[in-house]
Structure 1
Amino acid sequence: MARGEKMHCLKDFHKDTLKPSPGKSPGTRPEDEADGKMQREKWANKLDFILSVAGGFIGLGNIWRFPYLCYKNGGGAFLIPYFIFLFGGGLPVFFLEVALGQYTSEGGITCWEKLCPIFSGIGCASIVIVSLLNIYYIVILAWGLYYLFQTFRDELPWARCIHSWNTPNCIDDKMRKNVSLWLSANATNFTSPVTEFWERNVLSLSSGIDNLGKLKWDLALCLLAVWVICFFCIWKGVRSTGKVVYITATFPFLMLLVLLIRGVTLPGAAQGIKFYLYPDISRLGDPQVWIDAGTQIFFSYAICLGAMTSLGSYNKYKYNCYRDCMLLGCLNSGTSFVSGFAIFSVLGFMAQEQGVDIADVAESGPGLAFIAYPKAVSMMPWPVFWAVLFFVMLLLLGLDSQFVEVEGQITSLVDLYPSFLRKGYRREIFIAIVCLCSYLLGLTMVTQGGMYVFQLFDYYAASGMCLLWVAFFECIAIAWVYGADNFYDAVEDMIGYRPGPWMKWSWSVSTPLLCMSCFIFSLAKYTPLTYNKTYRYPDWAQGVGWVLALTSMLCIPMVGVIKVIQSDGPIFEVSLASVFLLVQEKFARIWEKNGWSGTDWGAFPKSQDGPAGPNGLLLCCNIP
């Protein structure tokens, strides 16, 4: 048998079965129509896709996580590991997911069924992660909406210690400037009005996770409101999503620009920016710096969640996704970098006003959004205006990330049963059910102990370890099982040219190595979860957290084992034949690339069921 015939399974077969039929909706296969699948809707224009992706991955992490990590991990020196992970992992995986969705016209689960059935657990893992993420991420928006409502007053409620929730230990910033009082007292006995507003009014924080306390009805209503908004943003599919993002994805940039201009004109801004960027090369020797860089890249690009694959699946088949993925990557990382100037200029102003070091006011996550920045705007002229501007920006940044991730979740699940869920109003009803269930589960996070539950989800359910694990197997499946050259052929068929070797090299070598190295270091440096560095979570809560993490991570090996067990014929024969076929294809390409000839690679293990034994294509490709 000629070598060209032997490569039919791994290259030509995929082109023949996955390539869209002439005259049909791009990406639609003949067998889909035979099964009664409805035509897949497409983006009305490319700007809908660009803004949806931009809204999906430019979110709260760009504002409250990257600037903090940059200052914490050596300032400008942190950009070295950041860009290594960006070009060696983030951008390649981002493009891989978008191109995979565009090529297969399928969501985050069924796309893997088409290319590498034994690795379809990747899609299941992504859906588990994004489902858990959607439950807790939107709680941040509920907090933001509550703060926004509270700003419409003559005076911001966290500016002074004159409210019912304040304690005798609360001291205004003006009193803190009284040096004689400050030196004669123990500063640790006092709290600020903004901290008490957050912990005693907004959260009504209980003693621990084993004491959830009462439901906070004001937060529960805010949570319901943002879920309703999210539902109506996606209920008509990409037709509604593609139009909403014209506002939610663009307006935050305008507000960020306004806050940036205001921030850099404040006294003390220069010191804040210097603190943000001043390089400390010695920090590069700490493995935690590299772990933070890797996890930040995967968080900020919303990869390994199935969302980018789902958004890409609505592209037209010939759309140049490579060009726009590169542009979107520059936009995302550029936004993170510029956000640091807007945040640290304000923190520099606040540190100067209080007479403290910037390290004492710099925070990350909810601490920045709901304590540090509100405190800073309360010191500015026109504090109500700046507070409204900040929280509207926060809501819009989080909202489009939320509904894009929910859209990715819905698309992946609907594509499992398209003939049933795409008829009539079934899709809309299904979205409503998913939103309602997520809302009910999220109510545990708007109780008096809800912050502890929120942190548990944030630390484990969608942790960097989970994302790195999924990204590793995505690259293995595409580069080493389906074949990087085969996937490059698919990309060339879509966009008309082959990208440079950088992408292929990243999928094959650098990204798996970076992901697995970072994953191992994360396990080695694991520390038990605490709240505010004082409250340590009980052992049972830590166990629940690990269950949340393993729920997604175990999907990949478990589904792989199930696929092999369900195959016809001995497991060993199926696996060995598939591996033999894979290795043979790799060596044949090397042989051909070097111009060698005169070697017959031998016959494939054959049986009546296929070229690699019974269901022998389980690992390499799927025959419909």
Structure 2
Amino acid sequence: MKSETTGRNTWKSRTGFILAAIGSAVGLGNIWRFSYLTYENGGGAFLIPYLIALLTAGIPLLILEFGIGHERFGSAPLAFHKISPRWEWLGWWPLLFTMFGIVLYYSAVIAWCIDYLFFSTTLAWGDDPNSFFFNSFLQVTSSPFEIGAIRMPILIALLVVWVVNWIIIVRGVGPGIELANKIFMPLLLILTLALVFWSLTLEGAMVGVSAYLTPDFSKLSDPMVWVSAYGQIFFTLSLGFGIMIAYASYMPYESNMTGSAIITALANSGFSLLSGFGVFALLGFMSANQGIALEDVVQESIGLAFVAYPKAISLLGTAGPLFGVLFFLSLTVAGISSSISIVEAFVSGIEDKFAINRELLATLLCLLGFAGGLIFTTQGGLLWLDIVDHFINNYGLIVAGLLECLAVGWFFKIDIIRNHLNKVSKLQLGTWWNWIIKFALPIFLSIILVNQLFRELLGAYGKYSWESLIGIGWSWIGISLLLSFVLAVQPWKTSNHLQNGRGEELK
């Protein structure tokens, strides 16, 4: 659907916009990454810094991104160009490393979920889910440079992921993304509720729930617990991706943007908290069934979804296959709702600047996405995924978010954004919001960044060789940064960049 006055895509309703924003935010990480971080960082103790991070960083930054997209009226590249032409590259950079980085390996993980959905029907992983996942399914090699062969089950499922992405993206914002999320989000909620309630009925479930809710306050003195909490909030809300800026630009002028940001953030975190009950209940069941301590059930984050859960599914007896199908279907739905948002953010940027036909652009990007994801379907794919994910999440997104705050807070009149938000929203932002964007968030993000760099210098990440970390991780960041400047200096094929924000009193 396009606006009659601007010719720009628009959402059919505020509900559709909020569901799409929630669909982008809610992903695989809400189910297994949040639960694992809680499990690893003192159970209920982790919820304290997590909720503080949500209030002091997540919601203010999401409001900022909604405000940038809505007031400057454009995708991330267009919005930052309107802030200042010299900042346009900052709009392109996150789009490049998410479209040609995150979504490439993310779609491969969704492909794993699709494969495991079918494996669940026969409990194909047998008595040793760990060996099945790493040795039989992925057939992981010993080095990132030992790529090995393409795993056909993953390749076929990857093709399905990109076909679904293409079908939704090519239809546009209203009939495509909005409609898909109106189906996906209620479905995901129903699946999650079914899994949580089922898990709570299992023997030993309350032991797990108790560990989930009982805080170990001694953990709060560990700075890494706080860094993990702020990092999780930042990543789970799709902040720094350029997605929320694009989505907000599709909203009509009279739209409650501040309220929408708060609803989106709370719904996303609420989903994580809800999923945590199901995950910990299942861990408690495994602990009781196997006679081992709860802390010995899971050893690593990715193992929670593809090793611990399959093992628990096998322990459920005849009900196991149905539980497995529900679990991996929920992961698939959560993953696809997030992947389409990443592709759409890039489509929006290209459309705004180069006016390329959406159908052609969506087709080309989905073909490139499938081709780029092939490396993650190989036997060395897990190692590539681990490296690329580490560098993009710990450096790319953090630096992009930090620069976003600096660009708007210090090199642009942030009151322009705040006044616009207050004009269209019921909830009024005070000058406290300016201070968070200008001072608090840059400090939080700088601490996370410095911490990651310090740990990086102490020892090579994941015990990989420095050659693989530089050749894969740092190169991915560097090449995407270079390309962002290349795109920024290209001439505009549209007149969008000649307009300022859409508020009448704003300059």
Q: How high is the TM-score relative to the length of structure 2?
A: 0.90
Distance 1:543 1:510 in 2: 31
For residue 369 of structure 1, report the CA deviation from its aligned partner.
1.1
Q: CA deviation at 1:476?
A: 1.5
Contact 1:118 1:559 in 2 (8 A): no
Contact 1:307–1:404 (8 Å) recurs in 2: yes
1:83 paired with 2:10, answer no
Alpha-carbon shift at residue 215 of structure 1 (Å): 1.3
Deviation of 1:497 after TM superposition, in Å, equals 6.9
Contact 1:107–1:309 (8 Å) recurs in 2: yes
| Residue equivalent to 2:17 | 49
Q: Which amino acid aligns with 1:528?
A: A
RMSD: 2.3
Which residue of structure 2 aligns with residue 293 of structure 1?
A: 229
Whether 1:528 and 2:460 are equivalent positions in the alignment is yes
Q: Kindly tell me: are residues 282 and 468 of structure 1, through their superposed partners in 2, closer, same or farther at Cα, counting changes over 3 Å? A: same
The aligned runs of 1:431-442 (5 Å cut-off) are 431-442=362-373
Return the alpha-carbon distance in structure 1 between the equivalents of residues 206 and 121 of structure 2: 31
TM-score (norm 1): 0.74
- In structure 2, give the amino acid aligned to 1:159: G
- Which residue does the alignment assign to 1:237? 172
2:103 is matched by which residue type in structure 1? N
d(CA) in 2 for partners of 1:46, 1:362: 40
Matches within 5 A, 1:560-579: none
Whole-Å separation in 2 of the counterparts to 1:92 and 1:554: 29
Report the counterpart of residue 475 of structure 2 in structure 1. Answer: 547
Residue 384 of structure 1 pairs with residue 321 of structure 2: yes
Aligned residue number for residue 142 of structure 1: 111
How far residue 224 of structure 1 moved from its aligned partner, in angstroms, is 0.6
Within the candidate set 104, 112, 125, 2:80 is matched to 112
Quote how far apart the aligned CAs of 1:380 are.
0.8
Shift of 1:25: 4.5
Using the TM superposition, give the Cα deviation of residue 550 of structure 1 relative to its aligned residue in structure 2, in angstroms. Answer: 3.8
CA distance in 2, matches of 1:549, 1:508: 25
Q: Is the 8 A contact 1:101 1:111 kept in 2?
A: yes
Counterpart CA distance in 1 for 2:170 and 2:299 is 36
SS in structure 2 at match of 1:151: helix
Shift of 1:525: 2.2
Equivalent pair of 2:460/2:466 in contact (CA under 8 Å): no
Structure 2 residue 38 is the aligned partner of structure 1 residue 103: no
Equivalence for 2:92: 124
Deviation by residue 1:20-78 (Cα, 9 ceiling, x = unmatched)? xxxx856x4xxxxxxxxxx1121111111011011110111110011111121222222
Task: Give the match's secondary structure for 2:241.
Answer: coil
Q: Aligned runs of 1:28-67 on 2, under 5 Å?
A: 28=6, 39-67=7-35
Shift in Å, 1:504: 2.1
Which stretch has the larger CA shift, 342-351 or 125-134? 125-134
Greater CA radius of gyration, 1 or 2? 1
Aligned match of 1:345: 281
Pair 1:479-2:384 in alignment: no
- Partner AA of 2:378 in structure 1: T
Counterpart AA for 1:385 = L
Residue 311 of structure 1, aligned match among 247, 251, 264: 247
- Residues 468-617 of structure 1: pairs in structure 2 closer than 5 A: 468-495=398-425, 498-526=428-456, 527-530=459-462, 536-544=463-471, 545-552=473-480
Task: Render the CA deviation track for 1:562-599: whole Å, top value 9, x for unaligned.
Answer: 98xx9xxxxxxxxxxxxxxxxxxxxxxxxxxxxxxxxx
Higher helix share: 2
Whether the 8 Å CA contact 1:469–1:553 is kept in 2: the answer is no
Secondary structure of 2:468's counterpart equals helix
Offset at 1:309? 0.7
Moved more, 254-263 or 117-126: 117-126
Residue aligned with 1:249, SS? helix
CA contact (8 A) 1:272 1:344 kept: yes
What secondary structure does 2:411 align onto? helix
SS of alignment partner, residue 147 of structure 2 = coil
AA at the equivalent of 1:275:
A
Offset of residue 470 of structure 1: 1.3
Change in Cα spacing, 1:216 to 1:102, as seen in structure 2 (3 Å) is: same
* Alpha-carbon separation, structure 2, partners of 1:89 and 1:554: 29
Deviations 1:52-109 (A, max 9, x none): 0111101111100111111212222223322332222211111111121112221111
Using the TM superposition, give the Cα deviation of residue 248 of structure 1 relative to its aligned residue in structure 2, in angstroms: 1.2
Give the structure 1 partner of residue 193 of structure 2. Answer: 257
Determine the structure 2 residue equivalent to 1:181: none
- From 240, 258, 263, the counterpart of 1:327: 263
Q: Is the 8 A contact 1:103 1:494 kept in 2?
A: no
Q: Name which of 224, 232, 236 aligns with 2:159.
A: 224
Which has the bigger relative contact order, CA under 8 A and spacing at least 6? 2
Q: Look up the match of 1:20.
A: none
Which residue does the alignment assign to 2:144?
A: 209
Unaligned stretches of 5+ residues in structure 1: 1-23, 29-38, 161-192, 531-535, 567-616, 618-622
Q: Distance in 2 between matches of 1:498 and 1:553?
A: 36
Compared CA separation, residues 143 and 496, structure 1 to 2 (3 A): closer
| Residue number among 172, 177, 183 corresponding to 1:247 in the alignment | 183
Query: How much has 1:414 moved relative to structure 2?
Result: 1.7
Identity of aligned residues (%): 31
CA distance in 1, matches of 2:328, 2:130: 17
The residue aligned with 1:393 is 330
Corresponding position: 1:152 with 2:129: no
TM-aligned CA distance change 1:346 to 1:304, over 3 Å: same
What is the one-letter code of the residue matched to 2:125?
W
Could you list the per-position Cα deviations for residues 165-215 of structure 1 after superposition, in whole angstroms to 9, with x for gaps in the alignment?
Answer: xxxxxxxxxxxxxxxxxxxxxxxxxxxx21122122211222322221111
* TM-aligned CA deviation for residue 363 of structure 1: 4.6
- Contact 1:307-1:408 at 8 Å conserved across structures: yes
